[in-house]
């Protein structure tokens, strides 16, 4: 079964460092997302991306965050200058389209620890 | 009031029991409802989705939606130890909200032998 794959599975970084989390969405999907889950808290929407541009973002997704689809298969989340509160599990997700019947599939997550 | 409320549990049941998991929501624009299962430190895995009031069955799982009460449920019949996980409800608007999912906090379920 096709799946969303994410790398790295776990990354430890120092505060202030840049981090890039990588994702390979399901191949025929056109919509891509990043969500995060702080330990013990709910899964929260960060950003959605379609046709090479951001279609929606949450208030969490500030200027420190950016997304990119550098080639035909990868989708990345960059955090420019990490803070302690960025420690969380980051999930990439993808879907074929929008609206009813378009299921969003999640990857296994990248666990980011900022020290 | 939170947009989506879900009892975090933990909920502990014996093997074979019927499990009932519930969420309430306040946003009338939510029209599309999903249940995800999440094992510890793993990604959410879609179990069921529905966008109409009423029941939808898939094997041992039944999803129920009552839009008039803004209440959704997931029933698990003949629960197994392998069902032990956190169950997340998630919702989205059909229009205007794109594909953004709003999640509940998740209910931790433990099925004991």
Q: Do B99 and A4 touch (CB under 8 A)?
A: no
Smallest CA–CA distance, residue A80 to chain B, in Å, is 24
Is residue A76 very low, low, confident or very high in pLDDT (cuts 50, 70, 90)?
very high
Res B75: pLDDT: 97
Res B52: pLDDT: 81
Is residue B1 very low, low, confident or very high in pLDDT (cuts 50, 70, 90)?
low
Q: What angle do CA B81, B85, B88 make, to 5 degrees?
A: 140
Strand ranges across the sheet with B19-25: B4-6, B19-25, B71-76, B61-66, B54-58
Q: Which of B9, B32, B43, B45 to mutate to test the interface with A (most CBs of A within 10 A)?
A: B43
CA atoms of B35 and B27, how far apart (whole Å)? 17
Question: What are the pLDDT digits (tens) for B33-85?
Answer: 999 999 988 899 999 988 888 899 999 999 999 999 999 999 999 999 999 99
Phi then psi dihedrals of residue B52, to 5 deg: -135, 155
Question: What are the pLDDT digits (tens) for B74-108?
Answer: 999 999 999 999 999 999 887 655 678 999 999 99
From the number of C-beta atoms within 10 Å of its C-beta (0-12, 13-18, 19+), residue B10 rates as exposed
In our burial notation (b when 16+ CB lie closer than 10 A, e otherwise), range A13-46 reads beeeeebebebbbbeebebbbbbbbeeeebbbbb
Res A32: pLDDT: 95
Q: Which of A23, A36, A45, A51 to mutate to test the interface with B (most CBs of B within 10 A)?
A: A45
B73 and chain A: CB distance < 8 Å anywhere? no
CA atoms of B9 and B6, how far apart (whole Å)? 9
Question: What are the pLDDT digits (tens) for A17-70?
Answer: 999 999 999 999 999 999 999 998 999 999 999 999 999 999 999 999 999 998
From the number of C-beta atoms within 10 Å of its C-beta (0-12, 13-18, 19+), residue B63 rates as buried
Question: Measured on CA atoms in the order B79, B5, B106, A96, is the torsion positive or negative?
Answer: positive
**CB-side neighbour CA atoms (13 Å) of A79:** 25
Beta bridge partners of residue B86, listed in sequence order? B38, B108
């Amino acid at each position: 079964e096709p799946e969303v794959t994410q790398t790295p599975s776990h990354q430890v970084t120092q505060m202030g460092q840049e981090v890039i989390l990588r994702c390979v969405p399901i191949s025929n999907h056109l919509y891509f997302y990043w969500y995060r889950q702080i330990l013990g808290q709910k899964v929260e929407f960060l950003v959605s991306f379609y046709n090479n541009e951001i279609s929606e973002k949450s208030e969490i997704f500030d200027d420190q965050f950016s997304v990119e689809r550098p080639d035909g298969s990868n989708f990345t989340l960059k955090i420019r200058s990490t803070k302690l509160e960025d420690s969380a599990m980051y999930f990439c997700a993808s879907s074929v389209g929008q609206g009813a019947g378009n299921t969003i599939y999640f990857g296994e997550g990248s666990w980011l620890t900022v020290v | 009031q939170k947009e989506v409320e879900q009892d975090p549990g933990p909920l502990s049941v014996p093997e074979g029991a019927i499990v009932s998991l519930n969420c309430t929501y306040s946003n009338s624009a939510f029209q599309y409802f999903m249940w995800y299962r999440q094992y510890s430190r793993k990604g959410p895995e879609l179990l069921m989705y529905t966008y109409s009031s009423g029941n939808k069955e898939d094997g041992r799982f039944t999803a129920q939606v009552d839009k008039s009460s803004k209440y959704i449920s997931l029933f698990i019949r003949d629960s197994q130890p392998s069902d032990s996980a956190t169950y997340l409800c998630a919702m989205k608007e059909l229009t205007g909200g794109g594909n953004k999912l709003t999640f509940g906090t998740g209910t931790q379920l433990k099925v004991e032998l």
